[in-house]
Structure formats: structure tokens, C-alpha cells
Structure 1
């Protein structure tokens, strides 16, 4: 069971590791996109959110307070869904579908991260294969 949970944690984190790395290595492009969506201080926000999702992903994958890592990912995903993927404001049908898909993806990943948080916090030290167990206790 421990190996399955570890594999799931690592697989879940892969998307965020790539995204966080992209935030930091493609700052100009990402900041331009963020600016087009009305994000204030886009250069700063791209770096901060890149670091946030990298930290969350590493914490989940490696098992350093994985519950906190899952919450960091939720704290990125929910605002991102609403700020960056507001499909309700799109007039072009193709853009609307694309943004709706991205919105739902972010919200679904946020839901998965919330489930991970709950499982990590409930299992506590029984989580297995972590460096530092969960910080929260929901048992």
C-alpha cells in the first residue's frame, strides 16, 4: 500500500513540477499571458506561483509535510481557475470551450489535492514512505 501511495503522489506531482519549472524558465511568456488576464504585477506573480507549485509538488512527491504541499497546490489551483480561465467571459466558441476545459481541469485537480490533504492528515504517521509526516491531524 505504501508503494501505491508513493507512486500516486509522484504521478500527481509531475504535472506541477513541469508547470512550476515552466513558470520560472519561461517567465516572460508566462508573465505576458498573466498580464493579458489582468493579473497585477505579472512578473512577480509568475515567479511566486512557480515557486509555490514547485514547493507543493515536491512536498507531496517526496513526503515532506505532504498535507501542506497539497494545500499549497489547492491555493494555486482555485484562484488560477477563476482568474486565468474565466470561460464565462469568452465570446469566441472555441476559446470558451478551451477555457472551460482548463477551468474544470484546475478545479478537478484542486478537488484531488483536497482529497490528498484529507487522506494525508487522517493517516498521519501511518502514511508511510515520507520524510516528514503530515503537519495536520484529522484522525
Structure 2
């Protein structure tokens, strides 16, 4: 049994990844400034960490949006998002940082739903 295409699911996956694509474009345009900010936070080899982060966002977003290997894509995005959230958005006394933290938690929830989505062949047969 093959899963039928759902425009709603495709739209949902695309909307979920827009934030990563927008962030990726910003990092591409300001690579040096972002790497400097990462260095200020004490991250080792910030240019390499940034390049890996950008690759995770790019590959993860493409996989999730396309629907092909979307679970892997969602996992790659989580590998980026969880540490980024812990490093950059834990200053809860700052209302803007609190908003960013909860936005990221909501996105993590969406990615976990993508990961949890079962293929029809994975579902037990109920009689």
C-alpha cells in the first residue's frame, strides 16, 4: 500500500521549514558576522560549526519539504535546532528571547510529529 499525496501535508511541511530556509539565507549573507557571534558565545571553530549548521538546515529542509526521507530531514533539523536553542535562546528574563525559545519548542514539536508519522506499512492491521 502506498501513501497518497496530500497537499495539506506538503503545505504543512513547507511552512514548517520556511523558518530554516529564511535563517539559512541570513547565515549565507552574513557568514562572518554570524561566525563572530558564535565565537562570542564560546563555540569552538565557529566557521566549521556554522557551515555544518547550514548544511543541516539545507538538507533537512529539502528532505522534509519534498516528503522523501522526511523523518531523516526532521531529525537533521532537530540536531541543529536543539543545541542552537540551548546556546542562543535561554535568557528567559528577556521577553524576546523567551519568545524565540517557545517558537523553537513549537517547531521541535512539529518536527517530532513529522518523525512520528507512520508509513501505512508500519501500522498494525486491525481486524
Q: What range describes the TM-score normalised by the shorter chain of this pair?
A: 0.7 to 0.9
Identify unmatched segments of 5+ residues in structure 2: none
Question: Which of 44, 48, 53 is the aligned partner of 1:49?
Answer: 53
Question: Which of 26, 30, 34 is the aligned partner of 1:26?
Answer: 30
More helix by share: 1
TM-score calculated relative to the size of structure 1:
0.77
Q: 2: distance between equivalents of 1:18 and 1:138?
A: 35
Q: 1: distance between equivalents of 2:96 and 2:48?
A: 26
Does 2:61 align with 1:86?
A: no
TM-score calculated relative to the size of structure 2:
0.83
- Shift in CA distance, 68/124, structure 1 to aligned 2, threshold 3 Å: farther
Identify unmatched segments of 5+ residues in structure 1: 126-136
- Count of residues in Structure 1 that have an aligned counterpart in Structure 2: 120
Residue in structure 1 matched with residue 9 of structure 2 by the alignment: 5
